[in-house]
Amino acid sequence: MELKATCYEVADGIATVTLNRPARMNAWTGRMHTEYRWIIAEAEADAAVRVVIVTGAGRAFCAGADTQALEGHVAKGGYDPGTPAELARPGYGVRPEFDAFFAWHFGLTKPVIAAINGAAAGVGFALACYADLRFAASGAKFTTAHGRLNLPAEYGLSWLLPRMIGLTRANDILLTSRKFLAEEALEMGLLNAVLPADQLMEHVRERAAELIETISPGSLASTRQQIYADLHRSAAESVVDSEARLERMMREPDFAEGVAALVEKRPPRWTDPS
């Protein structure tokens, strides 16, 4: 696919997805949506990719839906996603609960880290929330935005945010659509860390490299599946599933390698997924 609204590169096991409409603060469009889904499907299928980083070009992460697109919705009298009939379907087919816009992130096998370099509003805020880990530049602004547009809470945020930061704080964000800064988001528990802007990407890449070097690909994939499946099931179901995974994974070469690395006090040499 020809990428017009995004950039994609892979190096050292890390796939970096950059929302690339800096003149429009990386505002979301149907084209960007289409490209983003295609890129994540590529990363999922690429054995050389172990971790995905999502960030924005210029001074924003994603300032929400493009205003020209919003004007188009008004002119057409309804919502027009601006996407082709067939989109890439990364993460689909794992659980029915994940087979929807943005929820499909829960079905991925590889962790996604959001490097929030600037404003994250509306759909951009939702995209950041569906990442596994979130790091932001100091002073980055956040807002759900929907209330100021006579829209509902979007993209499952009314389900996701209470589970992430608790009902009281989620209500504050969702009901008011107020703006708040990265420092407050960190205090809420929405972010993993806040960094000076010029240190953000270096820190995120270091964290991604740490995952690649110290955690086995099989463990990352399994743990992600457990975390997001457990949001939909009982404690007993979680225990039964974890026991089945334990029995299977202890027969895999990377379990023996992990034990050997621990005993020998050396870095593990994980099985090459390719």
87-116 pLDDT per residue, tens: 999 999 999 999 999 999 999 999 999 999
- Identify the CATH number of the domain defined by range 6-211: 3.90.226.10
Handedness of CA 69, 72, 74, 80 (dihedral sign): negative
Q: Is the pLDDT of residue 29 over 80?
A: yes
Q: Which two tokens stand for residue 22?
A: 């800096």
What's the pTM?
A: 0.92
pLDDT tier, 202 (very low <50, low <70, confident <90, very high otherwise):
very high
CA distances from 206 to 62, 118, 164 (A): 23, 20, 24
Inter-residue contact 160 to 170 (CB < 8 Å):
no
Average pLDDT over residues 34-43: 98
Predicted local distance difference test score (pLDDT) of residue 149: 85
Closest C-alpha to 90, from 70, 110, 72, 73: 110
Average pLDDT over residues 74-92: 78
pLDDT tier, 239 (very low <50, low <70, confident <90, very high otherwise):
very high
Going from N- to C-terminal start, the domains of the chain cover 6-211, 233-264
Give residues with Cβ within 8 angstroms of 57, minimum separation 6. 7, 18, 19, 20, 21, 22, 26
Three-state SS for 125? helix
Q: Is the pLDDT of residue 85 over 70?
A: yes
Q: Is the pLDDT of residue 274 over 60?
A: no
Angle at 35 between CA 161 and CA 64, to 5 degrees: 40
